[in-house]
Structure 1
Amino acid sequence: MESRSPLASRDGWQLFPKTPRIVTKRLSAELATRISNMCTPRIILPIIALSAFLAIPSVGNDTAFGGTAASPYPVHTKEIRMASEQITIRSEASSSSWLYTCDFVFENMSNDPVTIMMGMPFFTMGDEEKGEFNAVLPTDEQAVAVGKPLVWKFTAAVDGKAVRVTEGKPTVNPDLLGSDYKVAYTWPMHFPGGATRKVRNTYKLAYTSSGGDNFLDYILKTGGLWHNGKIGRSRLTVILDDGRYILPVDDKPRDATMAGTITPGGYKVSSKGGQVVIEWDLKNFAPTQDLQVVLRDRELFIMDEVEKKSPAGMTRSELRKLRNFPYAAHGYVFKDLSLRDYYASLWYPMANPDFKEADLSKRSKELISTVKSLEAAK
């Protein structure tokens, strides 16, 4: 292990930087199909639906489905404009879940009053004994009863005041292709002519993972269905602080199932201490892509590197990089700039000042020992 120094920031990166070819891909075909064919929701709530998009996959043995979410969209009215949205999604390692804070500003573009119903539709927990879909849970939450919404700690507030939500069955919207939601939380809203109103929703969804990849999705395209088809300003922030996962750097067109995927474009990524932060600030935004981030399990990411090339055929310089690879993947920060820059070209670093040798897995320790022996023989 090499000595350390302060970690350099990666602020300002807008495009898709370089990533290694990931060899060990165990993504189930079912989840790949779910993501590549992800559609907009099929919900009508009278006038407006504020939707948490939870596309149910055909779940394989290696898939843990937690859910996804979506921007609000109108159903029967074009009078209401989405002036802005500010979405913050944060990983919570302790519960293997995503925490969502969603702030929206809506404007009534007409001079007439408009009364609407806003809501968030969700899938329900299935009955496993009947062969129905049964989803993964956050590790710190109680099980959801069969038929109840597959979401935790849902709240709704209008203009800063909590509103009471009603659980009910949403109506299918034939104009919006997507999945068949079973239940929705709804609440009424009234817009005087020309009025502006604010909505905040917070909630929690479990991780969706398959074959060592962790998928974060937030459907943006439905936001383009508001007045004039644009969102005045869309600020999106994803905060990753779960050290068990790596965000590979990516500079090639890749399908949405590959670790390192980040969409839409126009983002910047920064490494801030023990966090990786992805940010978008999009003005007059007509969404044509959905927010998507695909992470890779840290231990499998290390093994991916080994599978790229046999250590026995590596040069001494390559062996040095491989020997230090597990340390870097655990957040160890190197004083040697060449090592630090090399690893930063492969993934967005998440510094861990509390790293200890004991944090390394048995497999990583065996890898380090093997590489040391090969180095000594060179």
Structure 2
Amino acid sequence: MNRILFSCLVCLAISASILANDSTYYVSGNCLIPLQETDISISEEHLSFTLRDDCFVDVDVNYVFFNPSDKKKNITMGFEAEASSGAYDTIFQPNSGHPYIKDFAVVFNGLALPYTNGIVVNSNHNDSLTVFKPITEFDRYIPFERFDEFDVPFVDESALYDIKNNEMVYYSYAYYFNCVFEPGYNIVKHSYRYRTSHGSSFSFMIPYWLKPAQRWEGGKIDTFTMTVRAENTAKHFGILSEAFSDNDFYILDGDGKTRKTSLYDEHCTEVSLRNGTVACIIKDFEPKYDMEIFSGDYLYRQDYKEYPLGEFFDRKYGLGALERAQNTAEEKRIIRNLPYANRGYVFKDESLRQYFSKIWWYIPDPLWAPSDSDFTDIEHRYIKNASRP
């Protein structure tokens, strides 16, 4: 679903007379998969996202696998990350891992595991592919930087030209490691940081593949827990996937609120979160759909609201796609106060209090004392620009 939704967002940007090449897809998150047939199943999975203010997201995944055998089993596991598209600084590095993934690590039963990198044919373009092998014939598969040498028209940075079959294939970066599963339960902790995608209609997007988990025995997860955390910041976002259509997200800790909505006829949960965590727990989870986490500004492209200057605000991205070049004096006053509303300031000014009380993401915090000590450079710039005559 990640590429499909991303394409829809780009198409919408075109229809709104916004350049499609303003959209950049960096990478999708993914689950761990076995590279051979196995009867090992997933008993528990806790998938955790931590949203940041530096264009990256931290992903931590804790698995509990079950080996039904009374013998140890050596399983090669893999992690697949789709190549980027539309990124001006994209480079092809087949032996060094994905250029937009950092701090990749796997801990198996308490021990850190070494891993190797490779390039594989993108399995998200071929759902029947259950085992993938590294591409090693780089005299046969040509990256986009060399398309001109072979008089091949540019298609996408995420494509390779297959000389032998005269066709384009999409590729992914792969991480491989071996695990010796003990009889019974085994614990795998997996973590990494990856760059969030963005576009002219949305400030950030975090695609994640859930479906590959079906490759484990039984095709389901006994207990699946997903959490999204905004730590030392506030985030307004949507969680898009039919995988959660029958399950509710709830605020686990901190300040936040949720509500159900839809996007492209798909189930979506809208979330406003400040220094807190939103969670969802599903029993007997069958991951038949992938998912996206995306910035709240995009939700208002389909249903433009009465109060556009407050419909979305982010400490990293400001007003996002809803910013306008010319603003009235009253609009400038609203802009100057958006960073304060983002932190929950209870306004003494009646008109500001009424305005922000109508903004869904606004969560008042009577205990917050107004201060700009933690304002970002973006926020200081907004205040400065909105203070000009």
2: CA distance, partners of 1:136 / 1:171: 22
2: CA distance, partners of 1:364 / 1:176: 54
Alignment of 1:12-91 (within 5 A): 31-33=6-8, 60-74=20-34, 76-91=36-51
Give the superposition deviation at 1:324.
Answer: 8.7
DSSP-derived class of the 2:361 partner: coil
- Do structure 1's residue 190 and structure 2's residue 204 form an aligned pair? no
Distance 1:195 1:251, change over 3 A: closer
Tell me which of the two structures has the higher relative contact order, counting C-alpha pairs closer than 8 angstroms and 6 or more residues apart.
Answer: 1
Give the superposition deviation at 1:152.
Answer: 1.2
Query: Equivalent residue for 1:286?
Result: 286
1:215 maps to a residue whose letter is M
1: CA distance, partners of 2:59 / 2:354: 32
- Do structure 1's residue 346 and structure 2's residue 346 form an aligned pair? no
Q: Flag structure 1 segments of 5+ consecutive residues without an equivalent.
A: 1-27, 37-58, 126-132, 138-142, 264-268, 313-317, 370-378
Query: Equivalent residue for 2:113?
Result: 163
Query: Equivalent residue for 1:252?
Result: 261
Query: Equivalent residue for 1:201?
Result: 190
Give the superposition deviation at 1:195.
Answer: 2.7
1: CA distance, partners of 2:9 / 2:110: 36
Give the superposition deviation at 1:332.
Answer: 4.0
Query: Equivalent residue for 1:219?
Result: 209
On the 8 A contact 2:260/2:269 being kept in 1, the answer is no
DSSP-derived class of the 2:213 partner: helix
Give the superposition deviation at 1:79.
Answer: 0.5
DSSP-derived class of the 1:31 partner: helix
1:71 maps to a residue whose letter is C
Give the superposition deviation at 1:159.
Answer: 0.7
Distance 1:144 1:349, change over 3 A: farther
Deviations 1:89-136 (A, max 9, x none): 11232x3211111111111134454321012123457xxxxxxx5637
Deviations 1:11-35 (A, max 9, x none): xxxxxxxxxxxxxxxxx99933389
Deviations 1:176-202 (A, max 9, x none): 47984343221112234x432111221
DSSP-derived class of the 2:261 partner: coil
TM-score with structure 1 setting the length: 0.60
Alignment of 1:272-351 (within 5 A): 274-295=274-295, 296=297, 298=313, 299-300=318-319, 303=322, 326=338, 329-334=341-346, 339=353, 343=357, 346-347=360-361, 349=363
Distance 1:306 1:231, change over 3 A: farther
Aligned residues with identical type, % of pairs:
17
Give the superposition deviation at 1:280.
Answer: 1.3
On the 8 A contact 2:46/2:224 being kept in 1, the answer is yes
- Do structure 1's residue 361 and structure 2's residue 383 form an aligned pair? yes
DSSP-derived class of the 2:319 partner: helix
Query: Equivalent residue for 2:230?
Result: 240
Query: Equivalent residue for 1:99?
Result: 58
Distance 1:253 1:91, change over 3 A: closer
DSSP-derived class of the 2:262 partner: coil
2: CA distance, partners of 1:344 / 1:73: 45
2:181 maps to a residue whose letter is F
Deviations 1:289-313 (A, max 9, x none): 3342211362436947999xx999x
Deviations 1:225-277 (A, max 9, x none): 422222111111111247585337654322389xx9438xxxxx674xx4242
1: CA distance, partners of 2:320 / 2:216: 41
1:283 maps to a residue whose letter is K
2: CA distance, partners of 1:291 / 1:334: 35
1:217 maps to a residue whose letter is P
On the 8 A contact 1:276/1:349 being kept in 2, the answer is no
| Aligned counterpart in structure 1 of residue 87 of structure 2, from 131, 135, 138 | 135
2: CA distance, partners of 1:289 / 1:175: 12
1: CA distance, partners of 2:116 / 2:88: 25
Give the superposition deviation at 1:65.
Answer: 2.8
Over the residues paired in the alignment, what is the CA RMSD in angstroms?
4.6
- Do structure 1's residue 121 and structure 2's residue 130 form an aligned pair? no
TM-score with structure 2 setting the length: 0.58
2: CA distance, partners of 1:302 / 1:182: 30
2: CA distance, partners of 1:289 / 1:348: 31
1:33 maps to a residue whose letter is C
- Do structure 1's residue 262 and structure 2's residue 269 form an aligned pair? yes
Distance 1:276 1:101, change over 3 A: same
Give the superposition deviation at 1:341.
Answer: 10
On the 8 A contact 2:36/2:76 being kept in 1, the answer is no
Aligned length: 288
Query: Equivalent residue for 1:231?
Result: 221
On the 8 A contact 1:69/1:218 being kept in 2, the answer is yes
2:269 maps to a residue whose letter is I
On the 8 A contact 2:73/2:180 being kept in 1, the answer is yes
Distance 1:169 1:254, change over 3 A: closer
2: CA distance, partners of 1:70 / 1:233: 18
Distance 1:302 1:114, change over 3 A: closer
DSSP-derived class of the 2:114 partner: coil
- More deviation, 179-188/248-257: 248-257
On the 8 A contact 1:123/1:183 being kept in 2, the answer is yes
2: CA distance, partners of 1:145 / 1:88: 29
